[in-house]
Amino acid sequence: MPFLPIMKKEMLALGWDVPDFVIVTGDAYIDHPSFGTAIISRVLENAGYKVCIIPQPVCDEDYKRFGKPRLAFFVNSGNIDSMVAHYTAAKKKRSDDAYTPGGKAGKRPDRAVIVYTKKLRKIYGDVPIAIGGVEASLRRFAHYDYWDDRVRPSILLDSTADLLMYGMGEKHIVEIANRLNNGESIADLKDIRGTCYAVESKNYAPIKGAVECAGYEIVSQSKKQYAIATRIQQSEHDAVRGKTIIQKSGNKIVVQNPPMPPLTTAEMDEVYSFAYMRDYHPSYEALGGVPAIAEVKFSLIHNRGCFGACNFCALAYHQGRSISARSHQSVIGEAKKITEMPDFKGYIHDVGGPTANFRFRSCEKQKTAGLCADKKCLAPTMCPAIKVDHSDYLQLLQELRKLPKVKKVFIRSGIRFDYLIADEDETFFKELVTHHTSGQLKVAPEHCSDNVLRYMGKPKISVYKRFEKRFYELTKSIDKKQYLVPYLMSSHPGSTLKDAIELSLFLKKNHLRPEQVQDFYPTPGTVSTCMFYTGFDPYTLEPVYVPRTPEEKAEQRALLQYFKPENRQIVLSILKRCGRFDLIGTGEGCLVADNARTSNPRPQKKKKTIRNVHKKKSTKQ
């Protein structure tokens, strides 16, 4: 089938009187496997269901376009959180939206899942509604909301939905669809893994083995209890050993069933084998198209999950830490389809995922015991149980390079440099530098202070320096001019002004001048956001310093761009306040001059200007 219907005339042209399911989404409709709505709709279609899509509804008539579906509405905000789509870390309105026709901002509402679900409830009454996607997944428990600066209850309760799907949704969606189709009520679907439901407290029957975290009213008042609840929620997010979690909220109890097991290789291959159109709906052409397709149109996703699990990243809490990977045959098959597209120029832009160079579980015991609770595989030091192996990923890249019409295969997803540098076999590293780097390789040390890196859940800066040294040695050996572009973050919990000064010195020493600075963004569901709100490390309950005020956040940003004239007075003030007079002047090791004008300044090495912006990682479904 071509594009699924987004207009009634398209549905009628298929001979349908009524759809089985209607998906309401905050994104424009792009039928490409990098977009959650596309995958879920094709999974349902493959299971034999009639699916229609309402992208970015505004008025009542949009919601009424297909009428009441035979079985249910499914609601998501799109590929990214609607609040993140609308606002910067400084809470300023964004001027564009890559997931909207013409790139226009403001085409989806704030808190889209809540708005869409309540509107459907108002129009259709007790129609079954299930919510999912990243916005619902990360807000499944009571959570700190950065934009309101308060704790909000579970989005399941706020939205009035019947069921919440968290994580990657292919298995959930088919089980829900089949059981509704067999006559079960959505209120009875209380045993599906990867879902949350709510019950009246008086009707709750204790669940054997369930873990209770502090309720909404408690975590709203006690930051320490919020931190403890976060640790429970993170620790139990494992498909092998995870337990049911309950959380009271008023007169209701939110029940989270254990996570759904990740897709097997065969299941993942099937999902990516469907006949995606690999483009936006043609109705958007007159509006300028949808910019989001440009980044992924000629890219390949080969894996899911991330055992790196950085504290500020929501991917591990959404996709999980266990790795799923597609077969070579599946990836090569999709690549061949790409090469036949009329606008393909010979360049595969990415072969990646949350972390590009992960193809297997981090250790064998995960098959039966799951991932370790409250421990990280790679930070602060690498677990000795990890078997580092790039051979399978390398073979996949080599096979892609041999395809007719393919000139180059690049890697633009994040490379986990600590995992790479731990590989005693340098074959992959050498081929990465020789064949898969397009002038610049983006990596994410995030900071240079080991104190801050510990709170980020990242390895020590010495690991990055070893990687950096070897990268430039390999680059020089093949007589190429290639550069590392390090992602760096300001104002993360734990980062003092002293740490920020250390980071500015790191930039100066490495001759880096970031055009833009990524300020820490407290999005729901992350460990770092818990630290930002509570001031506690949820794993130790020790206090954490948090640069929280707009003034201090601005100071830390200014230090990363110390070289800008408009930041000079701010940086001067900070250095004097911190007693760092050694960094004031015109010497080689100084950050700013004491006077606005200096005569005959010492010649400086040419600086590498970098665009230091975090790439938004796809968190599909």
User: Tens of pLDDT along 91-110?
Assistant: 999 999 999 999 999 999 99
Position 600 scores a pLDDT of 42
Q: Which residues contact 278 (CB under 8 A, 6 or more apart)?
A: 31, 32, 297, 337, 338, 341
Half-sphere exposure of 148 (CA within 13 A, CB side): 11
- Residue pair 581/40 in contact by the 8 Å Cβ criterion: no
Position 1 scores a pLDDT of 61
Q: Which residues contact 310 (CB under 8 A, 6 or more apart)?
A: 316, 446, 456, 457, 458
Q: Does residue 73 have a pLDDT over 50?
A: yes
Higher pLDDT, 272 or 364: 272
Position 607 scores a pLDDT of 54
Single pTM value for the model: 0.93
- What is the band of 288 on the pLDDT scale with cuts at 50, 70, 90? very high
pLDDT per residue as tens digits for the range 199-209 = 999 999 999 99
Position 515 scores a pLDDT of 81
pLDDT per residue as tens digits for the range 408-434 = 999 998 899 999 999 999 999 999 999
**Residue 209's closest CA among 248, 163, 247, 258?**
258
- What is the band of 609 on the pLDDT scale with cuts at 50, 70, 90? low
Pairing label, strands 129-131, 440-446: unpaired
Position 517 scores a pLDDT of 84
**Residue 591's closest CA among 520, 494, 503, 495?**
503
Q: Which two tokens stand for residue 502?
A: 């250390």
Phi, psi for residue 87 in degrees, rounded to 5: -130, 145
DSSP calls for 490-549: ES-TT--HHHHHHHHHHHHHTTEEESS-EE----TT-HHHHHHHHSB-TTT--B-----S
Would you call 418 helix, strand, or coil by DSSP? helix
**Mean pLDDT, residues 313-322:** 93
Distance of CA 129 to the CA centre of its chain: 25
Would you call 56 helix, strand, or coil by DSSP? coil
Would you call 442 helix, strand, or coil by DSSP? strand
Q: Does residue 510 have a pLDDT over 60?
A: yes
**Residue 356's closest CA among 269, 423, 414, 422?**
414
Q: Which CATH architecture has domain 445-460+482-519+533-621?
A: 2-Layer Sandwich (3.30)
Residue ranges in 184-222 assigned as alpha helix (H): 216-221
Counting residues of the chain whose pLDDT is more than 70, the rounded percentage is 95
DSSP calls for 6-54: SSHHHHHHTT-SS-SEEEEESS--EESTTSHHHHHHHHHHHTT--EEEE
For residue 404, give the DSSP letter.
Answer: T
**Residue 564's closest CA among 505, 509, 516, 495?**
516
Distance of CA 419 to the CA centre of its chain: 20
Position 612 scores a pLDDT of 45
For residue 186, give the DSSP letter.
Answer: G
Average pLDDT across the chain, whole number: 94
Q: Which two tokens stand for residue 518?
A: 């990524």
Q: Does residue 458 have a pLDDT over 80?
A: yes
- Residue pair 320/375 in contact by the 8 Å Cβ criterion: no
- CA pair distance 313, 36, nearest whole angstrom: 18
**Mean pLDDT, residues 446-471:** 97
Q: Which residues contact 15 (CB under 8 A, 6 or more apart)?
A: none
DSSP calls for 557-604: HHHHTTTSGGGHHHHHHHHHHTT-GGGBSSSTT-SB-SSS--SSPPP-
Q: Does residue 606 have a pLDDT over 90?
A: no
Position 614 scores a pLDDT of 42
- What is the band of 618 on the pLDDT scale with cuts at 50, 70, 90? very low
User: Quick one: 360 exposed, middle or buried, by C-beta within 10 A (0-12, 13-18, 19+)?
Assistant: middle
Q: Does residue 611 have a pLDDT over 80?
A: no
- CA pair distance 216, 154, nearest whole angstrom: 8
User: Quick one: 598 exposed, middle or buried, by C-beta within 10 A (0-12, 13-18, 19+)?
Assistant: exposed
Delimit the CATH 3.30.750 region(s) of the chain.
Answer: 445-460+482-519+533-621
**Mean pLDDT, residues 99-128:** 97
Q: Does residue 244 have a pLDDT over 70?
A: yes
CATH topology for 8-195? Rossmann fold (3.40.50)
Q: How far is CA 343 from CA 63, 286, 297, in A?
A: 35, 19, 10
- CA pair distance 406, 411, nearest whole angstrom: 14
**Residue 519's closest CA among 509, 510, 506, 532?**
532
- CA pair distance 437, 451, nearest whole angstrom: 31
**Mean pLDDT, residues 77-99:** 95
Position 421 scores a pLDDT of 97
Task: Give the number of residues written for the chain.
Answer: 621
Q: Is the peptide bond before 109 cis (omega within 30 degrees of 0)?
A: no
Position 476 scores a pLDDT of 95
**Mean pLDDT, residues 13-24:** 97
Position 516 scores a pLDDT of 80
- CA pair distance 475, 433, nearest whole angstrom: 6
Q: Which residue has the tokens 């899942």?
A: 113
- Residue pair 46/76 in contact by the 8 Å Cβ criterion: no
Delimit the CATH 3.40.50.280 region(s) of the chain.
Answer: 8-195
Q: How far is CA 19 from CA 1, 54, 404, 427, in A?
A: 15, 12, 41, 52
Would you call 361 helix, strand, or coil by DSSP? coil
